[in-house]
């Protein structure tokens, strides 16, 4: 030992070269370890590591660390994978530890793995709820905060062209960070961004849903540090960050596609490996509930690929299942998330999805997850919400679903004639009446539009009054409201209905060359300014409204083209009036006597004017009126 401190200069050089050589050996042997790090102190005390490296499956792993036990090492069908099951003791200490690998020939080498200390208590991960208003952003189209990352050498899609609907435009995480003040000032309390993880696909990579690395931020969007910065700065402003995740599929250029761990890592994997035609989903989502559904249809629904460029993940493989669950928890912990939006919720194996949601909610009891079930049938949507009394006994553990049933009524409710029986506003009234079916209606997410459908202003034939009526309902109904970026300035895609590229239009002002700037208001039309102000007033009102957050709801059947909805509690009465009449109309208030509004002073949330209600109210034309009375 003594002589080791007296090495000659030459000896030290040789020692350094040997250490460098050994380090390179480890790096060449170990390509990936996922999750890349973990934490102590979870309810679930097991951790499964995916280790990827040349012939790693032939190695024998060892761990000698107090509080950490390696209980199982499982080989993949590919010799280049090893799955390590660890038990982390309750009293295990945070820090790094070595995982030693002993090959059949040659000396053993080790890989250093980090267990962190959790910086936030599990109950402090507060999820979004009905007190929030969510701003949905397609990041590539919102704002370009760092033009230097527009093109990243080595990635498959390197072109940026803002004139190409399906190309990359350059928006990024820095662009969202730079405009957090705008988002907060508008009155939003949560941000849902379309996926920001790596999509190294040859085309249309901008949307983010064909993920090619579940642990890496797409460098064209920014860095992990910037993603964390976004979360931290948003939290400082009282804005939650919701992550869009995809458990059903990955991108066809995902790193594991050239060397899959198991023969059943994907659904219909054999067809893919043999170059046979790919089986895509039949999209018959009712098979999840249908007692009469054929096994063939069930298998094709959940097993078929979403599209040919998105391989379908097999969650029935226990290693895949563990991988997805741990990935979700890793991102919650890394970003201190305020929620997850799970894409294409009914497509994966539904028993896996229940376990996925259960494991997350066990670790974070105050968290929230919303699942996408794109159906206008409330029976299907309600099936997925935790607490549903399903005849098949299925429990999803999913707190929140998306209200496509009400969303699909908006166009008819506001555009159809009120003169025909069963048409117009009564469709919206009836849709809300379906709340008796839901386990928790106020924990359902309602929206006028999103990134996958025509913008609401296009749906309303670009009639401002109808767009305002829609959004007034979204922001006052007993729901969690979600607003797609640009709705506040009447963005539309009327030139090409149904075109996803145009639906995801650039937000004006997000690029330095823009002549119109919606962030500052410069260049906006009077209608756009009016809509922006309308939304800002309503959003900031609901931000502090106890009646909107958690009050009771009562609505009155539409009559003479007018639909009234009340939200109320011990402190406040909020009254929404939706009027489809183009000209002046007298609204007789006796019909609302049970709400005890006569003689009480109400303030118009948008105009700020006040009036004491008597027997009648004059409505001056088509539009939405939101009034509030403060009881105490």
By annotation, the residues acting in catalysis are 343, 372
Alpha helices per DSSP H over 544-625: 546-550
To 5 degrees, how large is the angle CA 234–CA 238–CA 240?
A: 60
Q: Which two tokens stand for residue 235?
A: 């939290």
Cis peptide leading into 327, omega within 30 of 0? no
Please, are residues 624 and 576 in contact by the beta-carbon 8 Å criterion?
yes
How many other CB atoms sit within 10 Å of the CB of residue 258? Answer: 7
Question: What Cα–Cα distance (Å) separates residue 261 from each residue in 56, 77, 82, 320?
Answer: 12, 6, 9, 10
Contacts of 359 (CB under 8 A, 6+ apart): 44, 325, 329
Question: What Cα–Cα distance (Å) separates residue 418 from each residue in 151, 470, 497, 532?
Answer: 53, 16, 26, 29
Instruction: Choose among 128, 137, 220: nearest CA to 445.
Output: 128
Question: What Cα–Cα distance (Å) separates residue 384 from each residue in 373, 431, 587?
Answer: 8, 18, 40
Contacts of 556 (CB under 8 A, 6+ apart): 563, 564, 565, 591, 592
Please, are residues 335 and 231 in contact by the beta-carbon 8 Å criterion?
yes
Query: Tokens 């709820």 belong to which residue?
Result: 129
- Per-residue b or e along 287-301, where b marks 16 or more CB atoms closer than 10 Å to that residue's CB: bbbeeeeeeeebebb
Query: Tokens 């913008």 belong to which residue?
Result: 455
Instruction: Choose among 156, 149, 153: nearest CA to 172.
Output: 149
Side-chain-facing half-sphere of 299: CA atoms under 13 Å: 6
Question: What Cα–Cα distance (Å) separates residue 60 from each residue in 103, 186, 503?
Answer: 6, 57, 53
Separation between Cα atoms, residue 340 and residue 332, nearest integer Å: 8
Separation between Cα atoms, residue 61 and residue 30, nearest integer Å: 12
């Amino acid at each position: 030992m003594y002589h080791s401190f007296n090495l000659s200069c030459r000896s030290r050089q040789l020692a350094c070269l040997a250490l460098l050589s050994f380090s390179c050996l480890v790096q060449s042997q170990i390509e990936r370890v996922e999750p890349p790090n973990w934490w102590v102190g979870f309810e679930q005390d097991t951790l499964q590591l995916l280790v990827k490296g040349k012939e790693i499956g032939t190695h024998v792993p060892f761990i000698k660390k107090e509080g950490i036990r390696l209980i199982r090492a499982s080989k993949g069908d590919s010799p280049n994978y090893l799955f390590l099951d660890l038990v982390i003791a309750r009293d295990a200490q945070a820090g790094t530890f070595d995982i030693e690998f002993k090959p059949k020939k040659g000396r053993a080498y080790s890989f250093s793995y980090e267990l962190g200390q959790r910086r936030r208590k599990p109950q402090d991960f507060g999820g979004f709820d009905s007190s929030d208003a969510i701003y949905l952003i397609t990041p590539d189209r919102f704002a370009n905060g760092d033009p230097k990352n527009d093109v990243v050498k080595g990635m498959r899609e390197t072109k940026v062209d803002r004139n190409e609907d399906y190309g990359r435009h350059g928006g990024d995480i820095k662009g969202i960070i730079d405009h957090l003040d705008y988002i907060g000032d508008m009155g939003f309390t949560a941000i849902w961004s379309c996926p920001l993880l790596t999509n190294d696909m040859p085309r249309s990579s901008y949307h983010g849903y064909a993920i090619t690395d579940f642990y890496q931020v797409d460098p064209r969007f920014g860095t992990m540090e910037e993603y964390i910065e976004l979360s931290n700065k948003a939290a400082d402003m009282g804005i939650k960050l919701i992550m869009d995740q995809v458990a059903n599929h990955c991108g066809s250029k995902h790193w594991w596609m050239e060397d899959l761990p198991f023969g059943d890592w994907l659904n219909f994997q054999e067809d893919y490996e043999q170059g046979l035609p790919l089986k895509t989903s039949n999209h018959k989502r009712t098979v999840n509930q249908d007692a009469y559904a054929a096994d063939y249809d069930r298998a094709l629904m959940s097993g078929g690929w979403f599209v040919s460029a998105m391989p379908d993940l097999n969650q029935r493989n226990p290693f895949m299942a563990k991988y997805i669950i741990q990935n979700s928890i890793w991102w919650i912990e890394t970003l201190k998330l305020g929620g997850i939006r799970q894409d294409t919720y009914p497509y994966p194996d539904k028993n896996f999805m229940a376990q996925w949601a259960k494991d997350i909610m066990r670790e974070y009891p105050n968290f929230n997850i919303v699942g996408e079930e794109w159906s206008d049938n409330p029976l299907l949507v309600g099936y997925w919400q935790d607490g549903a009394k399903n005849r098949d006994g299925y429990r999803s553990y999913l707190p929140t679903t998306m209200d496509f049933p009400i969303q699909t009524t908006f166009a008819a409710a506001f555009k159809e004639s009120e003169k025909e029986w069963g048409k117009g506003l009564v469709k919206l009234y009836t849709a809300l009446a379906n709340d008796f079916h839901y386990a928790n209606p106020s924990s359902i997410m309602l929206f006028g539009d999103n990134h996958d459908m025509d913008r609401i202003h296009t749906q309303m034939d670009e009639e401002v009054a109808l767009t305002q009526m829609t959004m007034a309902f979204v922001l006052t109904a007993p729901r969690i409201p979600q607003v797609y970026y640009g709705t506040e300035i009447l963005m539309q895609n009327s030139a090409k209905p149904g075109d996803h590229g145009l639906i995801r239009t650039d937000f004006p002002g997000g690029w330095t060359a823009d002549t119109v700037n919606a962030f500052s208001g410069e260049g906006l039309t009077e209608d756009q300014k009016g809509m922006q102000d309308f939304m800002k007033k309503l959003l900031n009102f609901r931000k502090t409204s106890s009646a909107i957050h958690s009050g009771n709801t009562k609505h009155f059947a539409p009559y003479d083209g007018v639909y009234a909805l009340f939200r109320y509690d011990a402190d406040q009465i909020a009254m929404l009036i939706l009027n489809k009449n183009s000209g002046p109309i007298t609204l007789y208030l006796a019909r609302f006597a049970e709400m005890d509004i006569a003689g009480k002073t109400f303030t118009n949330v948008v105009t700020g004017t006040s009036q004491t209600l008597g027997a009648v109210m004059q409505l001056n034309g088509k539009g939405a009126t939101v009034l509030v009375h403060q009881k105490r």
